[in-house]
Amino acid sequence: MKLELPFLHKTGIGAGLAGEDGQQLIDVLNGKYYNRTLQGRVFSQSCTPLGLAIPIYTATALVGGMPIWNPAGSGVKVVPLKYVAGRASGTAAFFAVGLMARNGMGSVIATGAQCTAFAETTPVNGKLSLVNGIAGGGGGVTSAVKSSNAGTVTVTAAVAAEWIQTLGATGVEADATTNGISLIDYDFDGIFEVYPGTMVWIGATKASVALYAQTLTWTEILL
């Protein structure tokens, strides 16, 4: 039995290429996230370029944690793509940075619920259809989840077991100089899917007054 798969390209349908072991050869000519962006389903949140403090992993106040809440009934799953953080100012402490996750979040913001406040902000679509409130020509879809890059986000205290992935660490300790380098650039590579009723955010192993310019990028896939 022979199975032939057509490959689409600008000049029509052509044959795919295979390696010496029969594996399909893939060229990410326009970047590995290009096709998801082309579909208008890649989003990102960036905090102020002046930076925010990354909350300690046990925090209840998640400002600076770049939270993404996929509420029950959203109709999508969230796949984190990339997290980048660079120190903007302040004295840095040595700490690790990780992805926190919590199930059973539902969709309700109320006193007594797991989430009592969520200052939702509008993410940037990868097609740049809306930047700083100004519409562009990209035409990307609207995010189906709640995300925040500033303002009050309050949840019940997290625990160590909700730390699900270490993303990196600061490379300096008690460093207030302007020439020190502190950068985290983490590619999730598809290892997590955030289903409705789940929230994820960024946490640190230690509280610090240093401020970090951060960007968290994700894609939303219809269920």
- What is the rounded distance in angstroms from the CA atom of residue 223 to the CA atom of residue 215? 25
Distance CA 106, CA 93 (A): 35
pTM, whole model, 2 decimals? Answer: 0.87
Q: What is the DSSP string of 65-106?
A: S--EEE-TT--EEEEEEEEEEEEEESPBPP-EEEEEEES---
Q: How confident is the model at residue 18 (pLDDT cuts 50, 70, 90)?
A: low
Q: Does residue 5 have a pLDDT over 70?
A: no
Average pLDDT over residues 179-196: 88
Cβ atoms of 201 and 69 within 8 Å: the answer is: no
Residues 33-86 pLDDT 10s: 998 999 999 999 999 999 999 999 999 999 999 999 999 999 999 999 999 999
Q: 24 is written with which tokens?
A: 């399909």
147 CB-contact burial (10 Å; exposed 0-12 / middle 13-18 / buried 19+):
buried
Q: Which residue has the tokens 């610090």?
A: 208
Residue 22 pLDDT > 80, yes or no?
no
CB neighbourhood size of 100 (10 A): 26
Give the tokens for residue 216: 């968290």
The mean pLDDT value for 210-217 works out to 95
The whole-angstrom separation of Cα 51 and Cα 182 is 13
The mean of the pLDDT values for the chain is: 88
- Residue boundaries of the structural domains of the chain: 43-222
| pLDDT band of 10, cuts 50, 70, 90 | low
| pLDDT above 60 for 173 | no
CB 138 within 8 A of CB 128: yes
